[in-house]
Amino acid sequence: MPDITIDNRLLLRKTLLTTGVMVGACALLVGTLTLLVSALVGGAVAGPDSDQTAENAPTNARLAIPTAKTSPPAPQQPSMTR
């Protein structure tokens, strides 16, 4: 094997350059995947169209509970008079 000495500054420069390139590539990859997944998931859970009728009332996507247009009547309190 040839006996080659490497200057410390050159070694540090190559190490920092390689580290920067790897971090940049990872950031680019993760950013691209994030945008792609956000677009796919955003389209999959998009809200209902505005032309829905009353029979097809929109539902709460998290709980799958139909949303009510009016609240139910309050329960009646028992009368305390004799």
In tens, the pLDDT along 25-45 reads: 999 999 999 999 988 887 766
- If DSSP codes are grouped into helix, strand and coil, which group holds residue 60? strand
What does the block give as tokens for 15? 């190490």
* CB of 67 closer than 8 Å to CB of 60: yes
- Averaged pLDDT, 17-21: 97
- What are the pLDDT digits (tens) for 44-63? 665 555 555 445 555 555 55
Confidence of residue 75 (pLDDT cuts 50, 70, 90): confident
Helices (H), the chain: 8-44
The alpha carbon of residue 7 and the mean position of all alpha carbons in its chain are separated, in whole angstroms, by 47
